[in-house]
Amino acid sequence: MRLICYIGMSVAAANRGKTIMAVLVTGGAGYIGSHMVLELADAGEKVVVLDNLSTGFRWAVDPRAELVVGDIGDQNSVRTIVRRHAVNAIIHFAGSIVVPDSVVDPLGYYNNNTVKSRALMEVAVSTGVKHFIFSSTAAVYGNPKENPVSEEALPAPMSPYGSSKLMTEIMLADTGRAHGLHYVALRYFNVAGADPQRRSGQSTPRATHLIKVACETALGQRTHMEVFGTDYETPDGTCLRDYIHVRDLARAHMAALSYLRAGGQSDIFNCGYSKGYSVLQVIDAVKRASGVDFEVRMAPRRPGDPAAIVAKSEKIRSILGWAPQLDDLDGIVSHALAWEDKLADLKRRAS
């Protein structure tokens, strides 16, 4: 595998005297998308965000970016954005992400995650956008036979959510071959934490992310939390996951963008640390960080949850040169707790 290094002049210097091209971030008012906007803006990129604000927040978009409220399925609107802002790259986060919800509402997930992604790709092709980065998921692997799981493993999604993302990956591959659209699909493992400077974090009400739920419980915003399934074939019987800090994930997207701009070939990469932590280990980390021994109740398994899934991450490290900087569960938890404190303060001031 080849290692590409991306070292050179600043984006601002490179663009001096030229038409400034923009990066379109769909879902940029959401959790991961807002962190991506921060990374792009910090790097001097021109950023346009397209978000329908169904789960995102207007205030979460960094003021250095332009927010357009709209839907990625509205091709006329997307086409106007691309042309008006000279968009040359799309980073696509918009979509639905809750696995149990996808089991209940598969058609909604296929529409939001697959049909609308197809519409976005079609606009990218028709307007000449050459670089496309897709927010995929480790859920495409289902319950892998081996952990850590590599990108070469046969996909076997266990939920409509995972299937909807896999379908989009397939469409990207076919579109790339037919129309020269160069893409990177990043398969996220469990994203957690918040911006260390507390500029953004997970803010969605009734979120199902384990670390957020545990932090809310520690801060007294929930009376208790539940552990779904204690009879898995794992060391302590609870699900095992690979947790990646949201800022390291945003930096993986930056590395992918630089890779594509340098002529890199379309590819798929896992985004994880190659470390697995059980649900109970994560809860213990939150209790340590918060100093609160909150109530935890055991509950039955949820549909669509694999027993264990951990990333094999050599590929992204070697080809994109990505090196995580926040690879520490206690650090992830402390950043998440700090964000929850800020979020609670913002809510108090608004009331």
Which positions are catalytic?
A: 161
- 76 phi, psi to nearest 5 deg: -65, -45
Are the CB atoms for 119 and 72 separated by under 8 Å?
A: yes
Can you read off the two tokens belonging to residue 59?
Answer: 């205030």
Q: Nearest to residue 279, comparing CAs of 294, 296, 291?
A: 296
Q: Which residues pair with 255 in a beta bridge?
A: none
Query: For the chain, how long is the longest CA-to-CA vector?
Result: 62
3-state secondary structure the chain: CCCCCCCCCCHHHHHCCCCCCEEEEECCCCHHHHHHHHHHHHCCCEEEEEECCCCCCHHHCCCCCEEEECCCCCHHHHHHHHHHCCEEEEEECCCCCCHHHHHHCHHHHHHHHHHHHHHHHHHHHHHCCCEEEEEEEHHHHCCCCCCCECCCCCCCCCCHHHHHHHHHHHHHHHHHHHHCCEEEEEEECEEECCCCCCCCCCCCCCCCCHHHHHHHHHCCCCCCEEEECCCCCCCCCCCEECEEEHHHHHHHHHHHHHHHHCCCCCEEEEECCCCCEEHHHHHHHHHHHHCCCCCEEEECCCCCCCCEECECCHHHHHHCCCCCCCCCHHHHHHHHHHHHHHHHHHHHHHC
